[in-house]
Structure 1
Amino acid sequence: MKNSLKAAKLLVFLLVFSACQDKKTEPVDLAILNAHVIDLESGKTTIKNIYITNGEIKALLETNAENPYKADSLIDATGKYVLPGFWDNHIHLRGGDSLIANNKNFLKLFIANGVTTVRDAGGDLTSSVMEWKGQIANEDLVGPTIFTAGPKIDGPNSMWAGSLVVDKEEDIPVALDSLQALNVDFVKLYDSQFSGELYLKTIKETEKRGLIVSGHMPFSATFNETVDAGMDAIEHLYYVLKGCAANEKEITEKVKSGEMGFWGAMPSLMEGYTDSTAQATFQKLKQKGVFVVPTLYIGNTLSYVDEVDHTNDPYLKYMGAGIIKTYEGRVQSAMRASEEARKNRKELDTFFGQLAKFLNTAEVGLLAGSDCGAFNSYIYPGVSLHKELAAMVAKGISPLDALRTSAYNGAAFLHKTDAYGTISEGKVSDLVLLDGNPLENIEQTQNIYAVLKGTQVFSKEQLEDLSDSAVMD
């Protein structure tokens, strides 16, 4: 009897042992445990374990769920909040060959501030940018994923070096052919010398080719013409303001005749703003799926550059003398401006804050962009994206909606939602871990505990070292 009992117990033990042996775990590179995962679609936060392998999110599991994974590394994210890595949807890598090293140095600052993706909205360093883009993708260089427009398209004698010239209709396919040969991610149009007619024809041609296009808008074209031609994103609020003014057609004709210029039109456009015109414009933007890049922070900074002393800004130490030199133009221009011009600029800045809130309320897609880069005075890479998010919230946009304007909307605009924008299975593991909840306080976006960029993991200490290594003489 005793022998039979022992034999039965042995059989049970062998069956259990065999079952445990059959139940194998799947290896993964990293497990982030007990994280408060912020869902940017629903706005909900749930505590989950995140499993990552080969730079992609393998799975998100409830903390009490059965775990089929064995991780090489672990991060205890108890009390931490996890978001997709931040996107700065409007930067510039530019300034000529003498500033290549400075621009390359910016890449560290983006990662140090949790910005894992940038949209380069046109410059004159395309060869270097494409090289960096490839090196970052291969993880041979620390920096954000770069989606670039390459050189801008403008009319003859453009104010920006390296721009492609469209002076006649035959120039349009030539410019677009060259951009497609460069394999750019989108097309950026500028407005310093672009005729309204050729501008609209260029947008229509990008549509025919299936290209994404964003840009400024020459005031010789109307807002509705621009949107109807196929524009995908409006950079800055000047152009949206024009579409919200009941006197837009009158101002457009004055611009065409040379009677009125860009800055001279601003007071008239603000006076011509009507709610009915604005609401029609907002609905058109929403229905057409056109994004708007408010760039509130740079607008405020430049509007008050005549009053605020930036000589002791802590981020100047990362810029280098060459970049700092480029800041002088806008500063001197502000100092030379008349009292009336300064007053108008500040009133416009206040108005734009309200306009951004109106656009968000109307559910127009907004993109957070800092406009950092050479010539854009005191708008520093990395940290200025956080300043932009804070500026949106200060104007009445909810923290959740402000957060959506970064990675979530950025991925939607560039048609990259299969890989970016949310924390989901199969997405690229570009993540930011925060020590506080940004849904409660947007300032917490700067309270960074760790940054993941693909297979790379940067602890708080490593991020500080990265910042230290970016100091330039």
Structure 2
Amino acid sequence: MAEANHYIVTNGTIIDVEREESFLGSIEITGTKIKRIYKADECLPASISTIDATGTYIIPGLIDMHCHIRSEFAPHFLASGVTTVRNTASNVLMIKDLIEAPLDAPTPRVFSADRMIDGEPGLWGPTSPGNLVTENPEIARQEVRRQVVAGAKFIKVYGWANREVIQATVDEASKFGVEVACDLIHSKNVSALDAAELGVTWFEHASGFVQELYPGWYPSADQAEWSHINWEEPDEIMIQELCEQMLRYNVKLCPTLVLIDQANQYPDIWDPKNTVTNSLEEHDILMSHWRSMSKQVDVIKQQLANQHTFTKIVAKTYFDLGGTVVPGTDTPALIYTFPGMALHRELELFNEIGMTEMEILQAATINAAKSINIHNIGAIKEGYIADFIVLNENPLESIQHTKSIHRIVKGGKIYSQEEILEHIPSKEKSEQQMVEFEKRWEIVIGQ
């Protein structure tokens, strides 16, 4: 493995997602950053060590914009070429080691929310380290302040939060320049347009759109009452009009199409059966959990499958209008949302709804970075952090080629997939980290 000091990756085809072009060139890296980009006809410094990338294609590191990362499977994200993740709720103290890891660590960079703010009785149970359940706007305000101090980069509200709590959360977050995201999949009383009017910026799973067009619908409602709706051919005129309204609020969508796609395909799930997924099987990371969850696949399909085509149309319509649409996976939610690899399936689904390969790469790199106001990742550009993937095949010919990973460069350090996966923590270490987290959390709630 090459040292991440000063070297040049030579003779690769560099895909410039900002200028929408590709060219044969070389990338000079100093420390953790890209120092200079050379075109093929430019002379390279003779005194710097080189790594030959002839025949390969180089893209920026991918960004998973909706996941729930843990130390046990963090290396699998990076081994899949995912150099940054947006962690949409857990507890920042639980993943403190990942958040504070060095730029060249064998785990992805983490942009994280803290525990979600939900309404009573709490979809995931009562208040815990992972969620705060309240009907009181002032408690929500206090929680926002606590989360910002703890290091949360954005705030997440969940589907049973009432309007008053959502409004208080948005108002308090705005004082700190922090955005609010919502997951309204299970909401009974708040729709996407309601949340947008309250000032929510991010709509995870493109949720709440169904509730706006079909008031009274929610996943656990009696679906027989909604049998008159053709979910495979929803009213696209209504969707277009709603997307136009949402665009006025400049909201951002992360549709997580792969989440329901895997359930819909079960038992014939998408599984690339490669180095990353084989490692999950070998170490039994999440696999037993997913096998257990698979027993509930009929319930999942009954409650959520009718949203799959609907969400695809929403995502493409909003994108065509010029709105922000970025890829995410919700890993490890539901079944077989493989850490890191599931993002490649999400990119394929973006292709299936009509986005071009270049548009998809932009959504998963530079547009994703800009959407969370990070301006030194997401492109292969001088002065940017050296996060990129060296591929064996051209992703502009087929987005499926993003899986053909030869090497990953994270914070200037070159890794093979196998080298990254050597850093999977032992079960003993993971258990010890949990014990340490519980001690830190006891101090927090005791204050």
TM (normalized to structure 1)? Answer: 0.78
Give 1:186's aligned residue: 154
Give 1:224's aligned residue: 193
Name the SS of the counterpart of 1:106 in structure 2.
helix
Give 1:64's aligned residue: 41
1:60 to partner: Cα distance? 1.4
Give 1:91's aligned residue: 67
Aligned equivalents of 2:295, 2:95: Cα separation in 1: 30
Name the SS of the counterpart of 2:144 in structure 1.
helix
Give 2:328's aligned residue: 369
- Listed as ranges, the matches of 1:6-405 within 5 Å are 29-67=6-44, 69=45, 72-93=48-69, 103-124=70-91, 126-137=92-103, 139=104, 141-160=105-124, 161=128, 162-191=130-159, 193-217=160-184, 218-243=187-212, 245=213, 248=214, 251-252=215-216, 261=221, 274-305=235-266, 307-308=267-268, 315=277, 318=280, 320=283, 323-327=286-290, 330-335=293-298, 337=299, 342=301, 345-373=304-332, 375-405=333-363
Give % identity: 22
Aligned equivalents of 1:199, 1:181: Cα separation in 2: 20
Question: Deviation string for 1:383-402 (max 9, x for gaps)?
Answer: 11111101111222211112
1:439 to partner: Cα distance? 1.1
Rg: which structure is higher?
1
Cα distance change, pair 147–313 in 1 and its aligned pair in 2 (3 A): same
Cα distance change, pair 229–451 in 1 and its aligned pair in 2 (3 A): same
Name the SS of the counterpart of 2:115 in structure 1.
coil
Pairwise CA RMSD: 3.1
**Paired amino acid for 1:318:** L
Q: Which runs of 5+ in 2 are unaligned?
A: 428-447
Cα distance change, pair 205–128 in 1 and its aligned pair in 2 (3 A): closer
Aligned equivalents of 1:267, 1:73: Cα separation in 2: 65
1:312 to partner: Cα distance? 12
**Paired amino acid for 2:205:** H
TM (normalized to structure 2)? Answer: 0.82
**Paired amino acid for 2:345:** K
Cα distance change, pair 56–287 in 1 and its aligned pair in 2 (3 A): farther
**Paired amino acid for 2:122:** S
1:35 to partner: Cα distance? 2.3
1:287 to partner: Cα distance? 4.1
**Paired amino acid for 2:114:** G
Cα distance change, pair 308–239 in 1 and its aligned pair in 2 (3 A): same
Question: Deviation string for 1:28-67 (max 9, x for gaps)?
Answer: 7121222222121332112222211121111112222244
Question: Deviation string for 1:165-205 (max 9, x for gaps)?
Answer: 332111122110110111111112211x3123322332233
Higher RCO (CA 8 Å, separation ≥ 6 residues) = 2
Name the SS of the counterpart of 2:8 in structure 1.
strand
Question: Deviation string for 1:87-106 (max 9, x for gaps)?
Answer: 1111113xxxxxxxxx3231
Greater helix content: 1
Q: Which runs of 5+ in 1 are unaligned?
A: 1-27, 94-102
1:73 to partner: Cα distance? 2.8
Aligned equivalents of 2:31, 2:222: Cα separation in 1: 50
Matched, 1:420 2:387: no
Conserved? CA contact 1:200–1:225, under 8 Å: no
Name the SS of the counterpart of 2:208 in structure 1.
helix
Conserved? CA contact 1:190–1:215, under 8 Å: yes
The alignment of Structure 1 onto Structure 2 pairs a total of residues equal to: 413
Cα distance change, pair 190–439 in 1 and its aligned pair in 2 (3 A): same
1:316 to partner: Cα distance? 6.7
Name the SS of the counterpart of 1:238 in structure 2.
coil
Cα distance change, pair 226–397 in 1 and its aligned pair in 2 (3 A): same
